[in-house]
Amino acid sequence: MVFTHPLRGQGSAMSRITGVAVLVAGACLTACGGTATGGTATGGLGTGAGPGKPGNGAARAPGACTVTDKLIPTCGAWWGIAPDVFSGRGPARAIELAERRMGRRADIVHVYHRGGELFPTAEEREVAKGPRLLLVNWKPALDHTWAEVARGDVDGRIDRLAEHVRRTFPGRFFLTIHHEPENDVREGGGYSAADYTAMFRHVVTRLREQGVRNAVTVMTYMGAPNWTARPWFGRLYPGDDVVDWVAFDPYADGRVGDFATLVDKTRPDVPGWPGFYRWMQARFPAKPIMVAEWGAFERPDAPHFKRDFFDSVARQIGNYPQIKALVYFDSPLAPRGDTRFDTTPGATRAFAQLGRDRRFTSTPVPAS
C-alpha cells in the first residue's frame, strides 16, 4: 500500500498456467501440512496460546520441517502481519496487541523505514527474539532520485546502515527496497523503470559488499492490474542475482470476492492479463512468492464480507503452493478503509482460525 508511515513522515496475452512451479533450495512444492520433508527444524516450537502469550497454533513434530538459507519454509507458508499501522504505537506494543487479538504469534512482522533511519531498531530487535522474522520495508532515499541512488549519491547512508546491521543484528531478515514502485515511475527525471532497476541493484550490491549477508531480498510489486499494461512494466525486475523472493500487495477492493480473485485480479481494460499469481508463477518459477501486504476493507453493504473472505483464504490457499508467506496489513486508518481483521465477531473467528491452519503452523521460525 502506498502511504506515509506514521514513523517516517508484459501485459502480453498469457494462457492459464497450470501445474506447480519449482521452488529453490529444496522448498516443498506443495503445503506439507506437517509432513516430514527432511532436514531439521531451526527454531523453537510454538506453545499453546494463553493470556498475553499467543502460541503458533497447532502442535508441530520436531524436525518435520525446516527453513532454507533464503528463509523459505519447506512446509506450508509463513503467517505475518504489519500490526496496527498508523496508530503511532511502536512495533513491540503493536505486535503484542495484534497477537493477542489473533491468538497466535506472528511468524513475520512487517516494519517500515526510509532514508537514513537505521534498522533494525532496538525495539525491532526485541520483537525478532519472539522468535519472529522481520520484514523491513526500506525506501533508501526520498531526497534523491532513483538514478542518483544508483550512481552512489547516498552510499554513505547505505554504508552506515551496513555497519549498523553487522554490529547489532546477525539474524536473517527480509528486506524489500522501495516497494510498489509502479506508481512512482516517470520516464525521465531519474525515475524510469531502468532507474529503479539500477537503484535496487546498487543498494543490494553495496550492502553485500559492506558485509551484510543476512538480508533476504524481496522485490515487491503493487499487485494492481492497471500498471501491468504500461510499456515499462516488464523492465522493473532487478534480476535474479539480487532478488531472493518476489512479492505483491493486493487488497480486497470492490472487484474482489474471494482469495482467488485477490491474488489473480484481472480487469476488462487490461485484456490478456492472467492475474499476478499466474504471472509470477510463469515469470519467476524458481522464486518463492510473498503476499507482503493484503487486507480486506469494510463493506457497509456486506457486513459479513471479511468473515466470508477469510474463510475463502482457508479454502483456496492450497491452490497457490508458490505463496510461501502471507503478511496481513492491519490498520483502522488505511487510506482506502479499515483493514483490521477483527471488526466483527465473525471476522475475528475466521481470521484466528485461518492463522491456526496447519499450512501456517508447520514450519517453526528460526531463532534470530
The catalytic residues are 180, 293
Which amino acid is residue 161, in one-letter code? L
β-bridge pairing 323-329 and 78-82: parallel
What is the spatial distance between Cα 257 and Cα 120, in angstroms, rounded to a whole number? 37
Contact of 105 with 139, CB cutoff 8 Å = no
Q: Which three cell numbers stand for residue 117?
A: 533511519
Q: Which three cell numbers stand for residue 91?
A: 512495533
SS3 of residue 114 by DSSP: strand
Contact of 78 with 130, CB cutoff 8 Å = no
How many other C-beta atoms lie within 10 A of the C-beta of residue 253? Answer: 14
What is the spatial distance between Cα 221 and Cα 209, in angstroms, rounded to a whole number? 26
Contact of 260 with 316, CB cutoff 8 Å = yes
Beta strands in 191-330 (DSSP E): 215-221, 245-248, 251-252, 289-296, 323-329
Contact of 99 with 105, CB cutoff 8 Å = yes
Contact of 100 with 75, CB cutoff 8 Å = no
Whether residue 131 is preceded by a cis peptide bond, meaning omega within 30 degrees of 0, is yes
**In sequence order, what are the beta bridge partners of 329?**
82
Q: Which three cell numbers stand for residue 73?
A: 519454509
Angle between helices 345-355 and 91-102 (to 10 degrees): 100
Q: What is the torsion angle, in degrees rounded to the nearest 10, for the CA atoms of residue 358, residue 248, residue 307 and residue 274?
A: -100
Beta strands in the chain (DSSP E): 78-82, 108-114, 133-139, 173-177, 215-221, 245-248, 251-252, 289-296, 323-329
